[in-house]
Structure 1
Amino acid sequence: MKTPLATRTVLLTASIFLAGCAAIPASGPTGAQVRSQIRSDNGNMGITLVAVRSAADLPVIEKPAPTFGQDYVPPRPTELVGVGDVLDITVYESGIALFGRAAGLPTGEMDTSSKGERLPAARVSDSGTINMPFVGELAVAGLTTDQVERLIVRSLRGKSQNPQVIVSIREGLTNSVIVGGDVIRPGRLVLPTNRETLSDVIALAGGSRGEIKDMVIKIRRGDSNGEFRLSEVLDNRDQDIRIFPADRISVVKMPRSFSVLGAAGRTEQVGFPSSSLSLVEAIALSGGANPNTGDPRAIFVFRQTKGPDGQDIPVVYHFNMMQAQSYLLAQRFDVRDKDVLYVGNASANQPTKLVQIVSQLFLPLLTLDSIANF
């Protein structure tokens, strides 16, 4: 006797249930599967699983170590003259002027008034000297502007009547930094006081072109390199370090983001909307756990941290958002750049998915069988 189509369908459905739910499409493992795989650590990655149930389980916010060593020897003070500097020299003379003009005076008369003569700009040569009229070359590199003034006065003795000299640095190349990248005015920047901080230099360069939260400042000082978030520099005085001459500063756009995977409201890469981001805010940005497939008890944050030896250490933080205290703890948990937020697949939804799949497969056949027997 021929078995009706409906009976065959029921038998086939039963066999599918008996085969289990392993082949059912899913957005990822369940919370239990994630915890089991981490504990077994078949990949031998040394993963640490942290179940966040109290404030003691939150990651410690470590104060960043100083980027540059404390033994760094700062360059010379601002008033020192160096190779490549451009000097303005003004000589004041009374009586017969060596540098001024006495033309137009009647013969035998002498102008007793004091006059200042500004000489052409003098650039310090590679050998550290300047060329002074009526004197010749003078070694000025490594001297302060006051010392250069006294040196010129001594050199003019016997040539000029009671000369007075004023020396100032017009272009202090030895007291400058190079600022590049996403700033309004990139180029060489002379430090006015040689006491400027990192935020001062960025302001003197016209400020950043991009959003503060997305900007990173890279500093090269000798053989050392440092990297600072502009938002952290402005918020934290310890990060607003002093800048020294010869530093090379680059401002680049490096937005931070985290990835959302699993049974969340949406899976995507999400940029930080502000300079800091808590886990609660990250969950809200991702749409939370999908009400049909997600498990709010299985919220995981996958993170790579640095160990004492500089090696990457994988850590996974687990939050059970069905517990009220988890929301308060998640507010105190800071999401970091390149974190992965994973929402576990709800195991209770597997039979529902199976019924939906079976219905989609066999409902058309049952409909045809009913029509044929009508």
Structure 2
Amino acid sequence: MLSKLLRRSRLPATSLALAIMLSGCASLPSSGPTAGKVRAAANDPRGLGFQIVNLDATAFRQLAGATGPTTEGRFAPLAQDARVDRIAPGDELQINLYEVGVTLFGSPSGLGETAAGAGPAVESGAATARRFGPLTVASDGTIRLPYAGRLQVAGSTAYDVQRMIEQAFAGKSQNPQALVTIVSSPANSVYLFGDVARPGRQQLTAAREHILDTLAVSGGARIASDDTTVRLTRAGQTVAMRLGDIRPSSSDDLLLQPGDRVELVKEPRSYSVFGASQRVSQVPFEAPSVSLAEALARVGGPNDAQADPSAVFLFRYDAAAVAAGKPIIYRLDLMRPESYLIAQAFPMRDKDLIYIANAASGPVTKFVSIINQLFAPVLTAVVVSDQIRN
């Protein structure tokens, strides 16, 4: 019939040659390999030598009894004990000196002279209080007080400095008593930056703040915790883990130390879909967890016109498996009813790749479509011509 139409339409010989060339279906465009080609690649000794694991009933039972991957314990090796009450250069101290009777810096009546650098005297019964500060600890770790000279305070606690001041004024004042308060201590602080609501320096206290405590005080992360990575730098070592994986009072919720740097980084989790799907795309999780069934539904599932629903592959990069020479590719057969239960229980991971294989009949279908596009105008012309002659 086709040859008759060609003779009647006087179709050029070049068109016949084109039709013959199109018979090479393997050269037609395709969105990816078929299931057979994936299996062949798995057995190719020159390739990666990956293993295909079928997500069947056996796999479902294993998934039901298995625990999911965890990053717990990444911060735990950095745990150390450190003091947060040691004075260091750059700290600011508030010093109150209390005297009774005949005082060095003023009389109980408040009429005595004010020493240089001292605040006004305040009477409280027979005692007089004199305030100094805030005083900044010099780079050499000292402070200077009138009649006491320079005191080496770096490395000491506030209580140590109190005793130091009282000993310095012994014999110069009647029963001097000192009260030292650390107003500001950059050396005993941590630094928060990145995607945190209120970045900056946060001073540690004797209550000993954990990572989550400090983030809570700073307003927390600007985006969802599951899409936020915490990078902790301590003593030149940097370790990162998802904020959502840090549980309160866990080994990863470390006690912060002076000088720690905590950076919050926006790193949304996502997966990619290729092959014979309704659309090829990169899809964000936008939820604490996403199953394989949900991942397929978000992209419209396999394409009815070109997909092989029995060959849905999940490529998961695992550095340890690759190093061991045993990369794993999971295969889901959507033609089996139990596969939908398995897909509901199979959790997606960040940067997973779903590939929906093309049907083996895809090239033939495309070839027939091209033939129809080539000769449909010819057939229409012949029919119209016959109608005109008749």
Question: Which TM-score tier does this pair reach, normalised by the shorter chain?
Answer: 0.7 to 0.9
- Specify the SS of the correspondent of 1:364: helix
1:306/1:312 contact within 8 Å kept: no
2:158 & 2:211 partners in 1: Cα distance?
A: 27
| Alignment-derived partner of residue 22 in structure 1 | 26
State the superposition RMSD in angstroms: 3.2
2:95 & 2:102 partners in 1: Cα distance?
A: 19
Cα deviation, residue 88, structure 1: 1.2
Cα deviation, residue 138, structure 1: 1.2
1:344 & 1:129 partners in 2: Cα distance?
A: 73
- For normalisation by structure 2, the TM-score amounts to 0.83
1:214/1:254 contact within 8 Å kept: yes
2:316 & 2:124 partners in 1: Cα distance?
A: 82
| Alignment-derived partner of residue 47 in structure 1 | 50
Does residue 116 (structure 1) correspond to residue 129 (structure 2)? The answer is yes
- What whole-Å deviation, never above 9, does each CA across 1:4-55 have from its counterpart, x for those lacking one? 334799x969x8699463233332222222122222154x324232222214
1:147 & 1:245 partners in 2: Cα distance?
A: 20
| Alignment-derived partner of residue 348 in structure 2 | 335
Amino acid paired to 1:66: G
- What whole-Å deviation, never above 9, does each CA across 1:118-167 have from its counterpart, x for those lacking one? 21112222222211221011112222221211111111110111111111
1:7 & 1:101 partners in 2: Cα distance?
A: 128
Does residue 33 (structure 1) correspond to residue 37 (structure 2)? The answer is yes
Does residue 304 (structure 1) correspond to residue 326 (structure 2)? The answer is no
Deviates more, 1:163-172 or 1:328-337: 328-337
Cα deviation, residue 263, structure 1: 0.8
| Residue in structure 2 matching 1:184, options 197, 204, 220 | 197
- What whole-Å deviation, never above 9, does each CA across 1:325-368 have from its counterpart, x for those lacking one? 32232233222222111111122444433322221111111111
Cα deviation, residue 241, structure 1: 2.8
| Alignment-derived partner of residue 105 in structure 2 | 99
Amino acid paired to 1:330: A
Cα deviation, residue 256, structure 1: 1.6
| Alignment-derived partner of residue 87 in structure 1 | 93
1:97 & 1:128 partners in 2: Cα distance?
A: 28
1:87/1:169 contact within 8 Å kept: yes
| Alignment-derived partner of residue 315 in structure 1 | 328
1:182/1:252 contact within 8 Å kept: yes
Distance 1:160 1:171, change over 3 A: same
1:236 & 1:150 partners in 2: Cα distance?
A: 37
1:27 & 1:302 partners in 2: Cα distance?
A: 16
Q: What does 1:285-300 correspond to in 2, within 5 Å?
A: 285-300=298-313
Amino acid paired to 2:105: F
2:72/2:252 contact within 8 Å kept: no
- For normalisation by structure 1, the TM-score amounts to 0.86
Does residue 354 (structure 1) correspond to residue 367 (structure 2)? The answer is yes
Which 5+ residue runs of structure 1 have no aligned equivalent? none
2:100/2:108 contact within 8 Å kept: no
- Specify the SS of the correspondent of 1:216: strand
| Alignment-derived partner of residue 142 in structure 1 | 155
Cα deviation, residue 260, structure 1: 0.7
Cα deviation, residue 66, structure 1: 3.3
1:306/1:313 contact within 8 Å kept: no
1:96/1:111 contact within 8 Å kept: no
| Alignment-derived partner of residue 231 in structure 1 | 244
Q: Kindly tell me the number of residue pairs found equivalent between the two proteins.
A: 365
1:211 & 1:315 partners in 2: Cα distance?
A: 30
Cα deviation, residue 257, structure 1: 1.3
- What whole-Å deviation, never above 9, does each CA across 1:152-186 have from its counterpart, x for those lacking one? 11111101111111111111222111111122222
2:321 & 2:177 partners in 1: Cα distance?
A: 62
1:22 & 1:123 partners in 2: Cα distance?
A: 79
Does residue 257 (structure 1) correspond to residue 261 (structure 2)? The answer is no
Distance 1:4 1:198, change over 3 A: same
- What whole-Å deviation, never above 9, does each CA across 1:86-108 have from its counterpart, x for those lacking one? 111111111122234556669xx
1:215/1:252 contact within 8 Å kept: yes
| Residue in structure 2 matching 1:276, options 275, 283, 289 | 289
